[in-house]
Amino acid sequence: MRVNTRSLFCPCVCLCPTRPCGPAAPPGRGRPPALPRQRRQERLPAAMSRKGRKLVVDSLTRSAKHFTKSEVECLVKLFDTLVAKASSQFAGAGFDRTVFRDTLYNAFGMTDDAVLDRVFSTFDKDNTGCITVEEWVEGLAVLLRGTLEEKMKYCFAIYDLNGDGYISKEEMFQMLKHSLLIQPADEEPDEGVKDLVEIALKKMDYDHDGKLSFTDFEKAVRDENLLLEAFGPCLPDIKSSMSFEQKIFRETPK
Amino acid sequence: MPAGAAAVPAVPVTPARPHGNAAGHGGARRGRRGPRVSFPRWAPVTLRGQLKGKDIDYERKGDLYKDIVTFLRGRSPRFIENMAKQEYSMSKEPAHKKNYQHVEGAEISGQSQSHHNLTEKTECEKGKSSSAGPTGHSVKPYMKWKSSGLSASQGSDKFPKKGSEERKSRTVSLTTKKKASGKSKSVKIQEASKGKASVSFEDVSESSSETDEDEQPVRRQEGSTDLSAEYWGIQKLAKYVKGGDPTATLIALCSMRDFNLSEETCQLAIKDTGCLEVLINLLDTEEIKCQTGSLKILKEISQNMLIRHAIADLGGLEIMVKILDSPDTDLKCLAAETIANVAKFKRARKTVRKHGGIKRLVELLESISMGSSYQAKDTETVRCAALALWSCSKSTKNKKAIRKAGGIPLLARWLKCAHANILIPIVGTLQECASEPSYRLAIRTEGMIESLVKNLSSEHEELQRHCASAIFKCAEDEEIRDLVRKHEGLQPLSALLDKSENKQLLAAVTGAIWKCAISRENVLKFQEYKTVETLVTLLTDQPEEVLINVIGALGECCQEEENRGTIRRSGGIAPMVNLLTATNPALLVNVNKAVGGCAMEPENMAIIDSLDGVRLLWSLLKNPNPDVQASAAWALCPCIENAKNSGEMVRSFVGGLELIVNLLKSNDKEVLTSVCAAIANIAKDEENLAVMTDHGVVPLLSKLANTNNNKLRRHLAEAIAHCCMWGSNRVAFGDTKAVAPLARYLKAKDPLVHRATALALYQLSEDPNNCVIMHENGVVKLLLAMVGSTDDILQEAAAGCIANIRRLALATEKAKYG
């Protein structure tokens, strides 16, 4: 089963040329052996047993404060559908990167592969390459209903590509390098992006250490909320999230 | 003029140029002797404007670089980069430069308009004062002056027509304000026009609906050659706003907000770099973040009049109205607030209405229920929507649109909330709309007076001001005046008179007091609060808009006998009489009324007489404004009645009697009525009556006889009655066919008309021919009925008239049969 996981995992990583050090590295670190066992236990509720699902919903309602019980039910239901759609490498415990990407693409119109990969890895907290029902509900809670606080943490995690707690100039460059559509003819192609990075840094780097710590980021965002998604969109916009909520939560009126 | 060469020597000169006063004079002097080296520096754009129409193309290259910095900036991108790093040292210099250019510009405008010899300083001063001189006059060596005039009218490509019109007012404002120092010229212009707008805005006695529309874009005079550090900074960011994906755009937009966008340099830099177009285009995208970022900037820079007009021209309002439907609250707020800023002129307001903006804004007010649990975000929405409605409500059609969209109950609902930042725009909107009768009705029926009165005691002067001016406008209606009293609003109004340092507030409060004082019960209340005494202290050293209201209020209070004494005792008569020399018609009408009111008391009259007040009133009969004429004539009535030796006094005014008799030729009913009343009083003096008769008062009065206006009938009949007393005037009235129409007045419904007519008929009946006419017109039956009246005078006059007719009949019978 482990082998399976990896073989499905890797191609995806390779598809993302922008990010050589993404979640591909963590799986290499090796997983604690206890994990599969836990998976198996959780797999039961996910596998549509009525009673088990009710348990999951209950516990999730308690933990995820942004959703009501019926909303959690809807999300779990959606999760089940997605799991069913995905091939069963995880034996019904969750779904993989491809399904995740497709879902987010369809629901929120998020297209940027690089960003979607980062979103996947922030969802996939334990780095299994598989989104479980908890991860799914908690992740969506931030995406749809998150407070500014939660969203800041989420976005910072997305932008902090190597996970070292700082957004460095290089990371900014990575994220912004395709954002200039018109290149001035006489300048070096990268000049504009570097300049843009400098502008962003000037705006957000409060402690002037040439990189953004979470404190910098937080301060900048609190000052100007628009900077929350300064280095690329990673949250659904209000229209698509509204229509998503409408679609998902309305389907089950009970 | 060797201006082609001028640019080159100018380059080395500039960096060494000292700043401060000396530099300004130096530049000016050089300029006057003949445009030489400094030429392009002082009037850069100007020159270009001139070049367009002139055959001196060889100058074109000359004005490209005004100094070495500009020159290098134009040539070397590397230099720009390096300069950007040294912004601070550079940014101070242009400020000085601009200042002086402003002063120059002011002189230029004045001079170009008159044909004075420009080398003489004194002549220049004259030129400034005469702004009406013809333009376009050019003295060859001084093309600089002329061209500035040209550039002022040609400078703006977008508003060619308005430009020339604006130029006049700008010239005036500049010449008067030019000594003030410090800021750049265009800021001043804006201030001047703002001042103008706010004056008319405060002129609450009439609706400000159409009065603040005159704001027109003014093209600043600095050229693109005079570029600030901000300009380059903004241009750099503009590049990323234009050429980036949403992420890059967002970073650039956020960065742009770090500039001080309330500064005009930045605002215009955004416009001049073409960034404004991009910002507006961004609004039309689906990217909420970019829309928000763009609106945040637009909101700031739309404080600038030029930008407002540019936004409207670029179709920004339509898009912003559309954004009001957005699901994002922040975005909606920003759009509403920006609309509030932009919709400061008529065309913009119309655009908002035409695109359904009013309806959407009202819906925004509606969408939030005012429960106990509403949050900061909600109040922000309401605040912004109310601000936008406030701006829009300055157009009459928009007031209607707000009403049709169901805005009135919502305004009433939010009027009850406790947040001053919501209340100010809400009350602001209400006071704008209160010029419409339908709103006044609603204000009365929806119980808004109570809230307005409550907020008079708020701690925010602006809120107090709007409440007072809402009451001012509403109190035209009697029921509202009563409501204000019932809700105990008169006391806070009186108390607010103490805040005499805030003139706008004072104008609104005195206005409210004036209108409230129209009701007698309110005057009694004001007496209780000693308001009259306070008002008298406000008769001196106040701006005109305050004076109009103060004197209006005193005029109303005068109708109470007690107050006439109060005004005299607190020394109000002298300043009042002094105001008779004012020029503002609205003020004069009120002063006349107040003086007339005071004159009803003989003691006051003595003071007025000693101050020569009657002569001043009499001269106001010459005022071209019919309202002033009428009010002056009314005021003369009690004066003549109560003055000692009034006959002598009236005769002492040279040409006075002729003047007042000739006013009987006026077309204005009120003037005719008041003049008739005055003539009735004057005619009590026989000698004066004789003079008036010589001036042909009889045919003129007779000519007026065919009127249906009861008020005029009454005073006309009185005048005729009094004028009968001289010579053959009775016969003359009969000859000029005044009797028959007069006889018909007896059929009117107004008892006062009956009394005056009976008196006139009694006098006329002394002439037998008149009796015949009266009898033919069937007056006997009507007069017989009036003999039974309870009004003694009427009774007596009717009886006398019948007696005269009867006597004639008897005499005739006697002659026939006896």
Pick out chain A residues at pLDDT < 50.
Answer: 1-47, 253-254
- The reply to whether residue A226 touches residue B237, judged by beta carbons under 8 angstroms, is no
Q: Give me the pLDDT at residue B236, please.
A: 85
Stretch B35-61: mean pLDDT, rounded?
Answer: 42
Contacts of B110 (CB under 8 A, 6+ apart): B124, B127, B128, B129, B131, B171, B175
Token reading at B438: 């339908």
- The reply to whether residue B250 touches residue A200, judged by beta carbons under 8 angstroms, is no
Whose tokens are 């006013």? That residue is B663
Contact B600, B564 (CB under 8 A): yes
Distance from CA of B299 to the nearest CA of A (A): 15
pTM, 2 dp: 0.68
Q: Compute the distance between CA of residue A37 and CA of residue A127 in angstroms, rounded to an integer.
A: 16
Least confident stretch, B111-120, B345-354, B496-505, B564-573: B111-120
- Alpha helices by DSSP H, listed for B500-645, are 503-516, 520-528, 531-537, 544-557, 561-569, 573-578, 585-598, 602-610, 613-620, 626-642
Q: Provide the percentage of residues in chain B whose pLDDT is more than 90.
A: 39
- The reply to whether residue A238 touches residue B257, judged by beta carbons under 8 angstroms, is no
Stretch B762-783: mean pLDDT, rounded?
Answer: 89
Cα-based torsion angle of the residue sequence B369, B373, B378, B382 in order, rounded to the nearest 10 degrees: 50
Stretch B764-791: mean pLDDT, rounded?
Answer: 89
Nearest to B633 by CA among B682, B584, B704: B682
Token reading at B139: 């003295």
To probe the interface with A, which of B281, B289, B291 has the most A CB atoms within 10 Å?
B289
Distance from CA of B237 to the nearest CA of A (A): 9
Q: Compute the distance between CA of residue A237 and CA of residue B596 in angstroms, rounded to an integer.
A: 71
Q: Does B292 touch chain A (CB under 8 A)?
A: yes
Q: Give me the pLDDT at residue A146, please.
A: 87
- The reply to whether residue A184 touches residue B239, judged by beta carbons under 8 angstroms, is yes
pLDDT at residue B291 tops 70: yes
Stretch B701-706: mean pLDDT, rounded?
Answer: 91
- The reply to whether residue B254 touches residue A227, judged by beta carbons under 8 angstroms, is yes
Q: Give me the pLDDT at residue B22, please.
A: 41
Q: Give me the pLDDT at residue A50, please.
A: 67
Q: Does B777 touch chain A (CB under 8 A)?
A: no
pLDDT at residue B510 tops 90: yes
> Measured at the alpha carbon of residue B207, what is the angle toward residues B201 and B210, in degrees to the nearest 5?
75
pLDDT at residue B40 tops 70: no
Distance from CA of B312 to the nearest CA of A (A): 26
Contact B412, B442 (CB under 8 A): yes
- The reply to whether residue A196 touches residue B244, judged by beta carbons under 8 angstroms, is yes
| Contacts B251 to A, Cβ<8 Å | 176, 196, 199-200, 203, 227, 230
- Alpha helices by DSSP H, listed for B695-791, are 697-704, 710-723, 729-735, 739-745, 751-764, 768-776, 779-787
Q: Compute the distance between CA of residue B772 and CA of residue B543 in angstroms, rounded to an integer.
A: 60
Nearest to A23 by CA among A94, A80, A76, A97: A97
- The reply to whether residue A226 touches residue B293, judged by beta carbons under 8 angstroms, is yes
Give me the total of CB pairs closer than 8 Å, taking one residue from chain A and one from chain B.
79
- Comparing CB atoms, the residue among A179, A233, A238 nearest residue B244 is A179
Beta partners for B234? none
Distance of CA A226 to the CA centre of its chain: 19
pLDDT at residue B338 tops 90: yes
Q: Give me the pLDDT at residue B124, please.
A: 42
pLDDT at residue B774 tops 60: yes
- Comparing CB atoms, the residue among A180, A230, A238 nearest residue B250 is A230
* Tens digits of residue pLDDT in B524-538: 999 889 999 999 999
Q: Does A130 touch chain B (CB under 8 A)?
A: no
- Comparing CB atoms, the residue among B237, B243, B250 nearest residue A182 is B243
- The reply to whether residue B247 touches residue A229, judged by beta carbons under 8 angstroms, is yes
Stretch B403-421: mean pLDDT, rounded?
Answer: 89
- The reply to whether residue B239 touches residue A181, judged by beta carbons under 8 angstroms, is no
- Comparing CB atoms, the residue among A181, A203, A239 nearest residue B244 is A181
* Tens digits of residue pLDDT in B160-217: 444 444 444 444 443 334 344 444 444 444 444 444 443 333 333 334 444 444 455 5
- Comparing CB atoms, the residue among A203, A231, A238 nearest residue B247 is A231
* Tens digits of residue pLDDT in B226-250: 667 888 888 888 888 888 888 888 8
* Tens digits of residue pLDDT in B540-561: 888 999 999 999 999 999 888 8
Q: Among all residues of chain B, which has the CA nearest to that of A180?
A: B244
Beta partners for A168? none
Distance from CA of B243 to the nearest CA of A (A): 5
- Alpha helices by DSSP H, listed for B324-406, are 329-342, 346-354, 357-367, 376-392, 396-404
Contacts of B545 (CB under 8 A, 6+ apart): B199, B202, B203, B204, B503, B507
- Comparing CB atoms, the residue among A196, A226, A239 nearest residue B248 is A196
Nearest to B148 by CA among B220, B93, B62: B220
Q: Does B644 touch chain A (CB under 8 A)?
A: no
- The reply to whether residue A176 touches residue B247, judged by beta carbons under 8 angstroms, is yes
What's the mean per-residue pLDDT of chain B?
A: 77
Query: Which has the higher per-residue pLDDT, B414 or A186?
Result: B414
pLDDT at residue B369 tops 50: yes
Q: Give me the pLDDT at residue A26, please.
A: 40
How far, in Å, are B548, B553, B598, B626 from residue B585 at the CA level?
A: 10, 16, 20, 9
Computed on alpha carbons and rounded to an integer, the radius of gyration of chain A in Å comes to: 19
